[in-house]
A and B are shown apart, each in its own frame.
Chain A
Amino acid sequence: MLFALASCVALQAQIKGTVLEDASGEPAIGASVVAVGTTNGTVTDFDGVFELNVAEGTQVQVSYIGFATQTVAAKKGMIIRLKEETVQLNEVVAIGYGSQRKKEVTGSVTSMKAEDFNPGVKSDPMGLLQGRVAGLTVIRAGGDDPTNTGFSVQIRGTSTLGQGTGSTPLYIVDGVPVSVIDNISPEEILSMDVLKDGSAAAIYGTRGTNGVIIITTKRGVSDPNLEKGKFNLEYAGYVSFSTVATKTGMATADQYRKLNETTGTWIKGTDKGASTDWYGEQLRDFGLTHHHDVAIAGATKNFSYRGAIGYKYAEGMAKKNDRNEIQAKFAADQTAFEGWLKLQYDFSYMHYKNNKFMGDLTSGAILNPTMPIYNADGTYYEPVGTVTANPIADNEQREEYNDGNVFHGSVKATVDIKAVPGLKVSGFAALDESDGYKYWRTYKDYYKANDANKSSRTTSRTLSQLYEGTIDYAGQWNGHTLTAVLGGSYQNFWYDGSDIWNGNYATDASGYYSMGDGIIDKDYSGMSSYRSENTLISFFGRANYNYNEKYLASVSLRAEASSRFGKNNRWGYFPAASVGWRIAGEDFMRDQKWCNDLKLRFGFGITGNNVGSDLMSVEMLSVGDDFNNHGIVAKSYTVSQNANPDLRWEKKYEYNLGLDFSFLQNRLYGTFDFYLRNTKDLLWYYNVPTPPYQYSTLLANAGEMTAMGMEYTISGVPVKTKNWEWTTTWTMAFNKNRIDKLSDPSKGFNYDVKWCGNVSGNKVNGTNTQKMMEGQPVGCFYGYKWTGEFDANHNCIYEDYDNNGKLDDNDKQYLGSAQPKMSYGWNNTIRWKDLDISLFFRGMVGNKALNVARWVYAPNRGSNGLNVFMKDVNDFASGNGTFFQADFSDYYLEDASFLKLDNITVGYNIPLPENKYCQRLHVNFTVQNVFTISKYSGMDPDRVNTTAIENTGINYVDFYPSTRQFQIGVNATF
């Protein structure tokens, strides 16, 4: 090396050249020009001209922000035309145990930065991505109850039968695998990277099957605007008002009283004289939510930090229902010993309190609207019939809240081994603790005497300890770039908790605070506690290689063991490999003006899905039922399951073919992905014979399933002028799955068909509406097919499928799929000077849903003690519908396709005169959940859960309203 350098010096001469922007021909001002492998370099002047002392023919690298870097041979009078590059190509993408620039990525990874997130009130960071990432399904099933923070999240549809850890992706927050992410304030998130395919996720082994979402939070070093020696103060806050956006579709008291006339006495109400809106009485007129986040970030030469504190108050639409949240977070980075040692600290804490709604909106919807709330004497009216609770009294005279804390702390130390350039050794330790407390009580005067004056208190804790060691290497030589990581990881989780309940207190003052004051009684006093633990140990390695950013490759392997596996199957191995070809980097593409970037990539990876809970492979003695132990009633000891020492992870093989492109001066860009997933060793409870087994089911690995799909993300910039810019982005995802094999007769596991999609409630008692079987996808509705005709008694006439003259199980046929054919999102951002407007639409196409409420609470033929759906009544009146039908048929199945305008945001960057105090002031106004277009009769088609497995597409009875929100927000940097 030294010798080579010396020879260069000998032959060097002054080379002069010009660097131009290819599209406009304008000079590139301040582009850097460096002789490859040296520190010998310069920058271009106002005319794009540079002078450099190198020998002719020397490779020089020309780089300029926003343009593709070029390496060319030096020549006198050379003119270098730089091609514009999408900024994103150089964006850093987190890939787990490291990062890559976007153009080097060979797996299927979608990287979302803060500016790509959904605006509006979000109960959990996943709301930020709802509809934004092709192939990522985010559903809020339970309505907008702020105390219920989670989303149902799924990447690329179903590829498990749900007996493992489910189908929720793995969340990695600042390097730590966690299960809860609602303690992260959206304002503190820098980026969220979605690792979709097997080749990207395999580095996470037994937790990779469902994909990985890597959340990186903001830190001092990640802020490009932060100058050394200075600090920034940022404020972000909003106030939001929510109103009810959904309708129950039930009759009002007046409509109810008129049922008789409307339906010619076929459907009658029981008039109790009053007029009560049981549903509306339990709701607020509007809900108030406000959130404030203050962050301070600063940097000195060797130290940078960011500290943030946030507060949030969110009211639910139901009375008494709200959530309080306070969060504190601190992240710091220290460099020491002249760069030999780098330390990274992260601490965060959240305290929350949820006040629960104790009424019942389902009762609110279905109670007879002519019943009064109060008796004549002012006491609460106690309904008789199917619903025996007065939900308004329930909310008044009962109380439940839960609160808890979430702690996170981690330290990472990285030693730069200067003896070997590019080699770094790191140690990482993280602790995550959370605890939760639930307090529940009924008051002494609770109108249901049997349940009055009781209370309970539940405590739960979880602790995760993570210890990791990694060795990183990064090297470059002659156009070859290699980065590699090798490491080991140990993570231990434990859970424990206890529950106590008692009753019969002298006064309401005791409640859950002084539970010993009650009188112990076997039927309503008691206690329980538990503890469990599991451990994951793994070793992993990955190497990423590229040649001149043209030929890319990546290989990885993780070996992982879980204490949940049977003792015959301790270790699992999860390899992956992917390759990429940046066609745009080839010489023959250099002159194609229309093409800014084009990359083809292919990946393969094996990922795992762990067993869903602890102690599933062994038989353990635990307390069983009572028996007479020779005069004393004692608890017997029993094993509660068959042991399976062969129990192990589900294994998914995934192939992914992808294309990334950017054309026409980056005015059209996007990504296509095609994938095929094949899951083997599916976990499932098999029916096994007794004898020889003691119990009739065994959790075992046998089945197989296949899923395939396509994802498209296409962005266009139809308008781009100095003052105007319009960017539009389409995402689309198609997914199909099929159960190939449920049984494995060679192992004695036989399974033909599993009826699922169980519906129970009111008049329906345990009816199955779906069938899982070999050769069919998950989520197929099976039942009678309605001919569209009614008999003389207005009952549905069903198709006699097997033509044998009677209606039986053999006439139940395929009625449709609960899986959408396509899901999509469409975002538009229009900027005019400092004003920007964005509109975001999203939706699903082609999925069937069962609106359980409409079925189980369908009007009776004859008298109705409960309220009725006006849709059914009106359908009956017009001859298109009927009263309650006991059998499940497509009469109750609906198309749940929808289009929703998720949000409209208007933002304005207030132009500020030059001042010492305020650098940036941005205000925005957002309307969320603007409108929904759908034929679906339920509360909101968006709440139909398509990520479930045995009951996908079944919209269980749930009347908590979805909300429409109006939000005003401010962001300021000082």
Chain B
Amino acid sequence: MKKTIFSVLVLVLLMGTTMTSCNDQLEEKAYGKSTTEEFLKDPQNFDLIVGQIYADIKWLHDHWTYWGLCTLTSDEAVCPIRQPQGHWGDGGFWRELNTHQWDKTGKAFKYVWTYCNGGAVLCNKILAQLEQNKDMFDDETYARFKGELVTVRCFYYYTLFDCFGRIPYTEDFSDKFVDLMEPAQVWEKLVTNLEACAPDMALANVPSRDYNYARATQGMAYTLLARLYLNAESYDVPAEMLTKYDVYNKCIEACDKVINSGVYQIEDDFFANFAINNGGSKENIFVIQEDGTNNSPKSGLESNPMNKLRITLLTMHYNHEQIWKMKIKPWNGFSATTEFISKYQTGDKRGLCDVTLGTKTPDNERYGWFVGPVYAPSGDSIAWDDNNEQVIIENAYYGGNDHTKAGKVEDCGWNCGARCWKYEVDKTGTYTYCENDFVFLRYADVLWMKTEALLRAGQSIAEMVNNAEFQLLRTRVGVPAYTEGDLTLEEIYDERGREFAWEMTRRRDMIRFGKYDKGGYGFAQPTESYRKWFPINEDILGAEPRWKQNTGY
């Protein structure tokens, strides 16, 4: 018995020592993956870490995130529930955006919040890693990384701020609570940061355009600044700050930086900016580089194709698949409001294509919106859809299959509404999604912002009217050049709509021009003014109860 007790004791002792020594065995091995420390043993890898700040921006162009919110709540687009099958019902989410009746349950509000804040946290984290490993880099490399990280962080916050106003702005990477900051303070932070880092940023063509393609450049920083200044008032920046910052002159100044850099120029062909191979456009200032193949690495916690550009899929009709040999069947969702289409004058290439030609429109003729017949694959007859209806897309909204009945947001036919065609459609069946790089910021916007700022600052716009590039914006799409007298604020508002349709500028333009809450377009009703900010999704507030909801929701 004693022996037994003794051997048990020995065993217990043995166990104690083994227990501590086996902790090595318990270290997790991550085959094919690495820790940040291991990864940064090679300074060149820092480029790959910084790359993530761009990879994560991709979410923002999706209809479930920022692009969808901007487009569908403005007068550019509607996404009615298409009957009789109730396509695009999606729990009423699109309907609520169309009618300006959204509430705090909207998933898109959650996505924008999560991805933008996550992107900003990522920038802060990489900035912290940059500081930690400062001695790995020479001063120039360090400054370039830093400028890029700060600008992209400002871009994430700009997007978030544009939606919600009050945001948890932070420049630190820590586990501390970050409270919501009021819009005027956020605005000030963004302006200060961008002003500080813009001068050090690389010009887009130094050393080459390819080198800086789809990345933050000086042009991007100044364009963002110009937007912040021009819209300061609509961002609830108080009058004394508007004066203090002299926003319109500052806007002109920022635009001039871009204009005078000589890096950008207006393309002769409006559609070159949106072509499948639009990488050569000298007009695009900041784009998201797309991969149209079905090859989708996991990004973030959710693996779905939101990081693929799906703009042609969500607008084109189901039957476009066959005649255009599209790789997958489009979804027949978003289309333009009739009010928006009515702003185009005849002959404007940014407007409708010929209603009789439809898919027979020659490939070398480009238009901004698709209407008309969709032909069957053979090409001799118009296609029939699953409802036994001929597919003829109309710039009109009617109920179900009944052309005499007015369309309602919960009841529209499959063929209703003009489809966005400015992004070139791949008719070779090569790409599942859009290969066209998605345009976020464009030089045309800089010229238009300057024009508007001059007008709002009470200065002469003669220099713009005399600017050949500015007039090219009109002449390249087949409409007459502007005279000084044409350019009222109202005309600027309309022309910006035509020029930047579905480019995420319309919602802010409408707010700036006081039209967002007035209704009268699509299915939108006049609504409360608090809706110029979106609600913070209830799940977000559930996760952090110290954050308070935006007014009105």
Give A contacts to B, CB under 8 Å.
Answer: 270, 384-386, 388, 419-420, 423, 450, 471, 473, 486, 488, 490, 496, 522-523, 526, 529-535, 537, 539, 559, 561-565, 570-571, 614-615, 617-618, 620-631, 633-641, 686-697, 745, 748, 750-752, 763, 765-767, 809, 860-863, 865, 886
Contacts and interface: CB of A to CB of B under 8 A. Distances in A.
B22 interface: yes
Contact of B33 (A488, A620, A634): A620
Given A523-B293, A562-B26, A750 B543 contact: yes
B51 interface: yes
B176 interface: yes
Interface string B225-259: 00000000000000000000000000000000000
Given A629-B51, A694-B121, A571 B19 contact: yes
Contacts of B298: 622, 624, 640
B425 interface: no
Contacts of A565: 26
Contacts of A635: 48, 51, 297
A627 B386 contact: no
A631 B15 contact: no
A630 B47 contact: yes
A622 B34 CA distance: 7
Interface residues of B toward A: which range? Answer: 35 or more
B23 interface: yes
B131 interface: no
A750 B542 CA distance: 6
B51 A627 contact: yes
Contacts of B28: 533-534, 563-564, 614-615, 617-618
Nearest to B322: A384
A638 B30 contact: no
B26 A886 contact: no
A471 B4 CA distance: 10
17 contacts: A419-B3, A420-B4, A471-B11, A523-B431, A539-B15, A539-B19, A618-B28, A623-B297, A625-B297, A627-B52, A627-B214, A627-B215, A688-B543, A690-B118, A751-B542, A860-B85, A863-B84
A694 B36 CA distance: 15
Given A523-B295, A539-B19, A471 B7 contact: yes
Nearest to B37: A621
Given A637-B51, A691-B121, A860-B85, 10 more contacts: A388-B329, A496-B31, A534-B28, A539-B15, A559-B19, A564-B28, A624-B299, A634-B51, A687-B540, A750-B542
A486 B11 contact: yes
Nearest to A631: B210
B148 to A, nearest CB: 11
B182 interface: no
Contacts of A559: 19
A563 B26 CA distance: 4
A960 B376 CA distance: 36
Contacts of B132: none
A628 B213 contact: yes
A697 B539 CA distance: 11
Given A420-B4, A620-B33, A635-B48, A862 B293 contact: no
Contact of A689 (B212, B213, B387, B544): B544
A766 B86 CA distance: 13
Contacts of B482: none
With most chain B CB atoms within 10 A of its CB, the pick from A635, A689, A748, A751 is: A689
B543 A767 contact: no
Nearest to A753: B542
Nearest to A533: B29
A862 B84 CA distance: 8
Contacts, number: 235
A621 B545 contact: no
B388 A270 contact: yes
Interface in B79-94: 84-86, 89-91
Nearest to A537: B22
A860 B83 CA distance: 11
A695 B89 contact: no
Contacts of A535: 25-26
Interface stretch (B53-61, B341-349, B440-448, B470-478): B53-61
Interface in B48-104: 48-49, 51-52, 54-56, 58, 84-86, 89-91
Given A627-B214, A640-B301, A692 B55 contact: no
10 nearest interchain CB pairs?
A625-B55, A636-B51, A687-B543, A689-B544, A531-B31, A690-B117, A627-B51, A627-B54, A620-B33, A636-B52
Contacts of B45: 637
With most chain B CB atoms within 10 A of its CB, the pick from A423, A531, A533, A628 is: A628
Interface string B202-222: 000000101111110000000
Contacts of A388: 329
Nearest to A471: B11
A689 B54 contact: no
A621 B544 contact: no
Given A625-B56, A690-B118, A695 B31 contact: no
A473 B4 contact: yes
Given A624-B297, A628-B215, A690 B121 contact: yes
Contact of A624 (B22, B55, B215): B55
A537 B19 CA distance: 8
B63 to A, nearest CB: 14
With most chain B CB atoms within 10 A of its CB, the pick from A532, A637, A745 is: A637
A691 B117 contact: yes
Given A691-B120, A752-B542, A621 B34 contact: yes
Contacts of A863: 84, 387-388
A694 B118 contact: yes
Contacts of A688: 543-544
A752 B388 CA distance: 47
A532 B31 contact: yes
B117 A629 contact: no
Interface stretch (B167-175, B193-201, B360-368, B414-422): B167-175
B47 to A, nearest CB: 6
A692 B177 contact: yes
B125 A694 contact: yes
Contacts of A751: 542
Nearest to A529: B32
A415 to B, nearest CB: 13
B178 interface: yes
Given A637-B49, A686-B543, A765-B89, A696 B22 contact: no
Given A420-B3, A531-B31, A638-B299, A625 B58 contact: yes
Contact of B36 (A621, A627, A641): A621
Contacts of B544: 688-689, 748, 750
